[in-house]
Amino acid sequence: MSLLGSIKKVDDFTWEIPPDAQEGMLVPGVVFGDRALLEKADRDNALQQVINVACLPGIVKASLAMPDIHWGYGFPIGGVAATGAADGVISPGGVGYDISCGVRLIKTSLTHTEAAGRLRETIDLLNVSVPKGLGTKGRLRLERREVERMMSRGAAALVASGIGWEEDLEAMEENGCYAGADPGKVSDKAVARGREQVGTLGSGNHFLEIQVVDEAGPLAEKLGIFEGQVVVMVHSGSRGLGHQVCTDYIEVMGAALPRYGYRLPDRQLVCAPVQSREGRDYLAAMACAANFAMCNREAITHWVRECFERVFGTGARKLGMELLYDVSHNLAKAEVHEVDGKPASLMVHRKGATRAFPGSRPEVAERFAQTGQPVIIPGDMGSYSFVLVGTEEALRKSFGSTCHGAGRAMSRKAAKKLVRGEELRERLESRGIMVRSGHLAGFAEEAPEAYKDVQEVVEICEGAGLSRKVARMRPLAVMKG
């Protein structure tokens, strides 16, 4: 049944589902989008998931959805919800299976004109240097104690071993290490699944792209971005380790659910009090998976820098290969936000949504005080990606959150029926986009037509005040699992 009749327009970019739309709602649902995006979200049941999330015990202000919203496990992808840290719940479905799936952007000092003749050689070398694909093993062979060190210390553990740069840490959310990690709360099975996957891209919507900046706004210079610049975007997560952590704790919380007496509209919203044993254990394991994910992206960055050094015959530092930023879009975080005019300690779930803080927040590194925290937004492999920055208005409207990408417009199954991998590759190559893919059937699942228009999504976020646009990039070479 369509829910569009119950939605009220607040302004050109904001829509509200009132709390009387369904029994059990504790707060309204708020969707940032336009009418066309609402209709898509209604068709794939994502609006119903916004309503369901509004029933979570301890939720405050609203159940929020970004314009890239689509159906997910329990929470919609593009969903944001904050619960009270003292009396609210933590829900693994509000984080997702790929814990700390995230994106980073590596800058270079190269212009497209300077690099164009060597890009084919570069993507070919990356294709053999960065492991990709479902279940792929990485180049690092780690003992359990080494994995535990990464889970505890985050990217600093890799940097200490000579993989990555010390200055990368300041350009990462939480300086590359989420607090509260306890490897003792991660199962042996999760460790075994992740032990050989550090520095691997994975499959699905994960990718590595060489891009060129084709639009740069007024803030770009402050972030070291310029028109014509070659950059590299990496999108990957916590691989099998994070997936298993989610699986384990959905089972743990499901078993504990009768004890807490919660009445949930969807069992996929299984949850536990933030302060309960189950809640604390999950958060400790989730932090481990997040730290593992940042190590994964840092190792990939190391391989990327090595490849550029080999192709261009000079050091990565001379090539200006600094990390702009690394940000996650699948996490729950303890944050303080204003609720009813007073500061409140909250557990903010962001699933397929990105933190977008202004420079005034203490969590944001000093180097971004004048711009706001960078937000890296990938689009589809046939269009554009963006760099945004966070805003003060986002704090008031969305707990400092914005979109995470374009958002799917059709299922993977539907995309495979519509597009053949070989045809898609030929189409992209004819447009000057070099493609390296290990699995053409999976490649077809990620066809541009399977996604919403990322420019429209970004413009809605900017119009709603959730983030500001800094730069736009288009793909030159794409590598997928």
Looking at the DSSP bridge assignments, the partners of residue 249 are none
Looking at the DSSP bridge assignments, the partners of residue 454 are none
User: Is 404 in the active site?
Assistant: yes
Residue 42: in which H helix or E strand, if any? helix 35-43
**Cα separations in angstroms, 373 against 321, 335, 357, 361:** 19, 16, 6, 9
**Alpha helices by DSSP H, 261-316:** 277-312
For 336, counting Cβ atoms within 10 Å of its Cβ (0-12 exposed, 13-18 middle, 19+ buried), the class is middle
Strand, coil or helix: 72: coil
The strands making up 342-351's β-sheet, listed across from edge to edge, are 8-11, 14-17, 29-32, 63-70, 77-84, 342-351, 330-339
Q: Which amino acid is at 68?
A: D
Distant-in-sequence, close-in-space partners of 52: CB < 8 Å, separation ≥ 6: 74, 264, 265, 266, 269
- Out of 329, 349, 404, 439, the active site residue is 404
Distant-in-sequence, close-in-space partners of 119: CB < 8 Å, separation ≥ 6: 210, 434, 476, 477
C-alpha 26/C-alpha 10 separation (Å) is 19
C-alpha 373/C-alpha 377 separation (Å) is 13
Report the catalytic residues. Answer: 404
